[in-house]
Amino acid sequence: MRIAVPNKGRLHDPAVDLLERAGLHLVDGADRKLYADTVDPDVTVLFARASDIPEYVADGAADVGLTGLDQVRESGVDLVDLLDLEFGACRLVLATPEDGPVSEPGDLAGGTVATEFPSITRAYFDDLGVDVDIVEVSGATELTPHVDIADAIVDITSTGTTLRMNRLAVVDEVLESSVRLFARPETAGDPKVEQVTTALGSVLAAEDRRYLMMNVDGSDLEAVKEVLPGMGGPTVMDIAGSDAVAVHAVVEEERVFETIADLKEAGASDVLVTEIERLVE
């Protein structure tokens, strides 16, 4: 099975890191940025431009691909969105000059919109029933309203800083995007594809969870179990030669601080908190 991964840019390192954490360690070829074998002899990683990955997957050059939802929508190919990988988050927005007359998309009727995403932009305005001329540009989109090339832009933003620096205001959100795992419809149910999906999902599920282990006197067990917000209840094990028991539980990271305080008050001792590498739910 071939997995297409962005070959450079802000998506490359997080994508490779996710594969590594899922157990698909790259064993060669990573420096060449063309392909790499993995520790799984049945899985190869292909490195390609993020914008080309949808076509790689659709044409069968790769079985699955990691790329942005915006890239798939712009390509127009039919792929199955298997898993949100929770990085590369951004928004595709409609923006106009801050001091301009446009306050809603309908105000652009008969106007011109510059973008690197003409397909998404055309579909957006068609859905609204607003007729605009679309100018495709390959960079510096934010400058076009200030040099009389366009009345507005549709562009990617993460924090909005670049738009503000160029005195542009967001009028509407066109698309919310992040990196996803995509497959062709006919291969989405393949056992190997499902195995990879599960492996990647297990890493994501573990990211904001922590594993708690503690000792609890038998008389305090019920009070401790009331405190723990674990998955399906805690695991309780006898400790040889002791009236105490060992209690293990998975807890959301944001609740660890208050949970430990409550556990100590309920009678738990020797509380150990560890990270979880993978969690298959």
- What is the structure's pLDDT at 185? 96
Look at residue 157 and tell me if it is in a domain.
yes
In the structure, what pLDDT confidence band is assigned to residue 230 with cuts at 50, 70 and 90? low
Q: What is the pTM of this model?
A: 0.85
Kindly tell me if the per-residue pLDDT of 12 is higher than 90.
yes
Number of domains in the chain: 3
Residue 275 has pLDDT above 90, yes or no: yes
281 found inside a domain: no
Question: pLDDT at position 32, please?
Answer: 55
Encoded tokens for 76: 């127009």
The pLDDT mean for the chain works out to 93
Predicted confidence at residue 243, as pLDDT, reads 85
Q: What is the pLDDT of residues 173-220, one digit of tens each?
A: 999 999 999 999 999 999 999 999 999 999 999 999 999 999 999 899
**Would you say residue 27 lies in a domain?**
yes
Report the alpha-carbon distance of residue 50 to residue 71 in Å, rounded: 7
Domain boundary among 157, 177, 197: 177
Mean per-residue pLDDT for 22-27?
Answer: 92
Same domain? For 191 and 74 the reply is yes
* CATH number of the domain within which 27 lies: 3.40.190.10
Any bridge partners for residue 236, and if so which? 247
Residue 29's pLDDT is 54
Please give the pLDDT value at position 232: 67
If we measure between CA atoms, which residue out of 210, 196, 272 comes closest to residue 4?
196
- Give residue 33's pLDDT: 67
Say whether both 142 and 18 belong to one domain. no
- What pLDDT score does 233 carry? 76
Asked if the model's pLDDT at residue 4 lies above 60, the reply is: yes
Say if residue 28's pLDDT is above 80.
no
pLDDT for 139 equals 84
Is the pLDDT reported for residue 31 higher than 60? no
14 and 73 co-located in one domain:
yes
pLDDT tens, 65-120? 999 999 999 999 999 999 999 999 999 999 999 989 999 999 999 999 999 999 99
Going through the chain in order, the beta strands assigned E by DSSP cover 2-6, 35-37, 44-48, 64-68, 80-84, 90-97, 112-115, 133-136, 152-157, 168-177, 179-183, 209-217, 235-238, 244-252, 268-275
In this model, does residue 242 exceed pLDDT 60?
yes
Q: How large a percentage of the chain has pLDDT more than 70? A: 96
> How large is the average pLDDT for residues 13-31?
86
43-57, 133-147, 233-247: least confidently modelled range: 233-247
In a domain, 280, yes or no: no
Q: Are residues 184 and 57 in the same domain?
A: yes
Taking the alpha carbons of 120, 121, 124, 126 in that order, is the dihedral positive or negative?
negative
Same domain assignment for residues 78 and 133 = no
Please report the pLDDT score of residue 154 as a whole number. Answer: 97
Q: Are residues 133 and 164 in the same domain?
A: yes
Here the CATH number for the domain that contains residue 222 is 3.30.70.120
Domain range for 230: 208-275
Give the mean model confidence (pLDDT) for residues 40-64: 96
